[in-house]
Amino acid sequence: YQVFESVAKKYDVMNDSMTLGVHRVWKDILVHKMNPSPGTLLLDVAGGTGDIAFRFINYVSSVRERQLQRKLKHHQSLSWQEIFESYQKDKFNSVGDSQVVVCDINREMLKVGKQKAQRLGYSEGLSWVLGNAEELPFDNDKFDVYTIAFGIRNVTRIDLALQEAYRVLKPGGRFLCLEFSHVSNPLVSRLYDLYSFQVIPVLGEVIAGDWSSYQYLVESIRRFPPQEELKAMIEDAGFFKVDYENLNFGIVAIHSGFKL
């Protein structure tokens, strides 16, 4: 908990510098893989500063806009709500009935996220909830998609978090997990190790003034179960069609499972 409290304010800056901005691409890929349709209810756990939530909103808005345009082209009748929204073109298009709930155990991270949302102009379809991934404050069968991006590593009991994910998802719902994982390619692995242990804590000290947090970060990545093991854990929680996709040789992996 303390690690992220101290890290909260500089979180985004550190992410950019550590991954040289690539984390944005990873998160984009995650939302693309999700391919959410309008009306989707997303729960983003450990979503702190809202990266996934904002991308989700952008994606859904653009899909909705395309749908509306298609309806106009076919001269289909729009509902009054849609006509009203189309007159209201601000910077961002309307989200419709899609919603994202950002849940994080850390108040500081949520605070930073809310400020970011305000600054970037995201107002609709967002909620911020304080909660523990191992014991979510939500009812059963509520969400269409559950995502946890770079958060499951920090959960003490991963199996509990997976079980909670299973519980709050609707039947047919999807579990998506974006996390650092195991690199099997030996050359990449050596370079990656070098970078992780030599460069990252230094960056942590220079930018955030915190060597030990980032040392912890790198070590926790190494201790995290590799792809196949995590896949087995997800299956144990009851998910079906569990699969993973390696990004960047396995530096990062996206695991996906369905509650069927």
Which range of residues in 6-14, 99-107, 164-172, 223-231 is near other proteins by CB under 8 A? 164-172
Question: For residue 7, how far is the Cα from the chain centroid?
Answer: 18
Asked if residue 258 binds other proteins (CB under 8 A), the reply is yes
Q: How far is 46 from 40, CA to CA, in rounded Å?
A: 19
Amino acid occupying residue 193: D
- Please select the residue that binds other proteins; options are 13, 21, 25, 39, rule is CB under 8 A: 39
**Residues in a beta bridge with 244:** 255
Asked if residue 253 binds other proteins (CB under 8 A), the reply is no
CB of 245 to other proteins, least distance (A): 12
Q: Which residues contact 105 (CB under 8 A, 6 or more apart)?
A: 1, 46, 130, 131, 132, 133
Asked if residue 241 binds other proteins (CB under 8 A), the reply is yes
Asked if residue 145 binds other proteins (CB under 8 A), the reply is yes
**Residues in a beta bridge with 255:** 177, 244
Check: CB of residue 8 under 8 Å from CB of residue 109: yes
Q: How far is 239 from 260, CA to CA, in rounded Å?
A: 7
CB of 146 to other proteins, least distance (A): 9
CB of 138 to other proteins, least distance (A): 15
Which range of residues in 19-27, 82-90, 105-113, 165-173 is near other proteins by CB under 8 A? 165-173
- Please select the residue that binds other proteins; options are 36, 131, 151, 204, rule is CB under 8 A: 36
Q: How far is 177 from 157, CA to CA, in rounded Å?
A: 15
Residue count at the site for other proteins (CB under 8 A)? 27
> Where along the sequence are the contacts to other proteins (CB under 8 A)?
33-37, 39-40, 67, 144-145, 163, 169-174, 235-238, 240-241, 256, 258-260
